[in-house]
């Protein structure tokens, strides 16, 4: 029976890893997607959609599908999934590795305010500006719903569900975007402050370049810590090395 690798996906790196693993002979590769986006990117290999039912459900799936290695390549802010993956791997003895792109680092011209949570970001905003470009994802918008005096421009792939801040303008768009496009957007909407999560990577970093060009303050929500004892590798090559393939 072919060794079976389960990738908890949804990121660019997860798609790259699936492509790299399926190109190797003798491997069965399954990517699991949460199903929160209606049009996910193309993934090579087998794909399953939907949750597992917590750590216990994932552990059961690992056993039933005879998974030989688990790779958590979810978004850096998918804290619950990462916790469940670590618990399931420990319960089943399945070797696991976390793939996390490195976080962003501010340059000398950046005006960043790091905060530990979305609620902390919301607390900071009234002192920084009145027109906010909010790029923290549609699921985090309730943290800002009480800020009735601020105007929010929200960009999302899917329409956000309420509650939303009462003065919210939604832009439905899918990146990546260039630095010139982001600069033009910030200027056109007279943005005072950018709010983002430290997602890392280059796919969404152009907005940071645009904010730097316009000398705008940026509120950066820091990543949640990994579960105790869990370490991450920064790229696909690191995962392949940990799995002993490639």
Q: DSSP character for 45?
A: S
Quick one: pLDDT at residue 40?
A: 59
Q: Which positions ≥6 away from 93 have C-beta within 8 Å?
A: none
Together in a domain, 85 and 123: no
Same domain for 216 and 135: yes
Given a contact cutoff of 8 angstroms between Cβ atoms, the answer to whether 209 and 182 are in contact is yes
User: 86-103 in b/e burial notation, b at 16+ Cβ within 10 A?
Assistant: bbbbeebebebbbbbbee
Are 212 and 239 in the same domain? no
Same-domain pairing of 117 and 212? yes
- In tens, the pLDDT along 11-56 reads 999 999 999 999 999 999 999 998 765 555 689 999 999 999 999 9
Do 191 and 153 touch, CB atoms closer than 8 A? Answer: yes
**Which has more pLDDT, 46 or 157?**
46
For residue 38, what pLDDT is reported? Answer: 52
Give CA separation, 112 vs 24, 65, 108, 211, 241, in Å.
42, 45, 10, 10, 35
| One domain, residues 119 and 217 | yes
Residues 6+ apart with CB under 8 A from 55: 83, 84, 85, 87, 88, 91
Task: Please give the model's pTM, rounded to 2 decimal places.
Answer: 0.88
Q: pLDDT at position 84, please?
A: 97
Same domain, 91 and 124: no
**Residue 209: is its pLDDT beyond 90?**
yes
Question: Does 94 have pLDDT greater than 70?
Answer: yes
113 alpha-carbon distance from chain centroid: 20
Cis peptide before 176 (omega within 30 of 0): yes
pLDDT of residue 226: 94
pLDDT at residue 203 tops 90? no
Angstrom distance (rounded) from CA 144 to CA 138 = 11
Give the CATH number for residue 166.
3.40.50.720
Q: What is the pLDDT of residue 37?
A: 55
Structure tokens at 117: 């949570």
Please tell me whether residues 22 and 93 are part of one structural domain. Answer: yes
Please indicate, yes or no, whether residues 126 and 150 belong to a single structural domain of this protein.
Answer: yes
Answer yes or no: do 81 and 181 share one domain. no
216, 191 Cβ separation under 8 angstroms: yes
Rounded Cα distance between 242 and 15, Å, is 18
Residues 163-197: pLDDT tens digits?
A: 999 999 999 998 889 999 999 999 999 999 999 99
Domain extent, residue 156, equals: 111-221
Residues 87 and 153 occupy one common structural domain: no
- Average per-residue pLDDT in the chain? 94
- Same-domain pairing of 125 and 215: yes
Looking at the structure, do residues 217 and 229 belong to the same domain, yes or no? Answer: no
CA distance 137 to 65: 32
What pLDDT was estimated at residue 54?
96
What secondary structure letter does DSSP report for 103?
P
The pLDDT assigned to 41 comes to: 65
* Domains held by the chain: number: 2
Separation of alpha carbons 64 and 75, rounded Å: 26
pLDDT band per the 50, 70, 90 thresholds, residue 158: confident
Confidence band of 231 (pLDDT split at 50, 70, 90)? confident
CA distance 35 to 167: 29
């Amino acid at each position: 029976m072919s060794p079976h690798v389960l990738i908890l996906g949804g990121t660019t790196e997860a798609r790259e890893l699936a492509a790299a693993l399926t190109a190797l002979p003798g491997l069965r590769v399954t990517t699991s997607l949460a199903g929160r986006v209606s049009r996910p990117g193309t993934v090579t290999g087998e794909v399953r959609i939907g949750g597992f039912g917590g750590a216990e459900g994932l552990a059961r799936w690992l056993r039933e599908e005879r998974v030989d290695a688990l790779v958590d390549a979810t978004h850096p802010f998918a804290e619950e999934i990462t916790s469940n993956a670590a618990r399931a791997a420990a319960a089943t003895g399945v070797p696991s590795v976390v793939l996390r792109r490195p976080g962003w680092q501010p340059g000398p011209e950046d005006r960043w305010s790091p905060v530990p949570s979305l609620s902390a970001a919301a607390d900071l905003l009234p002192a920084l500006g009145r027109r906010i470009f909010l790029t923290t994802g549609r699921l985090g918008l309730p943290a800002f719903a009480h800020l009735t005096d601020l105007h929010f421009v929200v960009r999302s792939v899917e329409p956000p569900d309420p509650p939303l801040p009462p003065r919210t303008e939604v832009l439905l768009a899918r990146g990546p975007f260039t630095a010139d496009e982001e600069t033009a957007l910030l200027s056109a909407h007279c943005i005072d402050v950018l709010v983002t999560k430290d997602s890392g990577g280059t796919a969404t970093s152009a907005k940071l370049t645009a904010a730097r060009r316009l000398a705008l303050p940026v509120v950066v929500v820091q990543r949640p810590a990994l579960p105790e004892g869990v370490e991450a590798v920064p790229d696909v090559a690191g995962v392949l090395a940990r799995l002993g393939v490639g």
